[in-house]
Amino acid sequence: MLTTDQIWIIARATGTAALVALVLSILSGMALRSGALAWLSHNRGVRAVHDLTSVLWLPLVVVHVITLMLDPYAKVGVIDLFIPFLVSYGSFAIGLGTISLQLIAVVVISTWLRSRLTQQGWLAIHRLSYVAFVGAFAHGLLAGTDFAQPLLSALAWLTAAVLLIVAVRRLTASRGRQSPARSKTVAIP
The candidate with the shortest Cα–Cα distance to 64, out of 120, 2, 13, is 13
Applying CB under 6 A, does 170 fall inside the site for ligand HEM?
no
Find how far residue 7's CA is from the centre of its chain.
Answer: 24
Applying CB under 6 A, does 10 fall inside the site for ligand HEM?
no
Are the C-beta atoms of 18 and 104 separated by less than 8 Å? no
In the complex, what is the shortest distance from the CB of residue 31 to ligand HEM, in angstroms, rounded to a whole number? 20
**Which residue, judged by CB position, is nearest to ligand HEM in the bound state?**
144
CA 94, 95, 97, 102: dihedral to nearest 10 degrees? 160
Residues within window 21-60 making contact with ligand HEM, judged by CB under 6 A? 22
Of positions 23, 107, 125, 144, contacts ligand HEM by CB under 6 A: 144
- CB nearer to ligand HEM: pick between 43 and 159: 159
Backbone angles phi, psi at 36, to 5 degrees: -65, -20
Of positions 25, 67, 98, 129, contacts ligand HEM by CB under 6 A: 98
Q: Which stretch binds ligand HEM (CB under 6 A): 14-22, 36-44, 113-121, 162-170?
A: 14-22
Of positions 64, 125, 163, 166, contacts ligand HEM by CB under 6 A: 64
- CB nearer to ligand HEM: pick between 18 and 34: 18
Are the C-beta atoms of 153 and 36 separated by less than 8 Å? no
Dist. CA 34–CA 166, nearest whole Å:
8
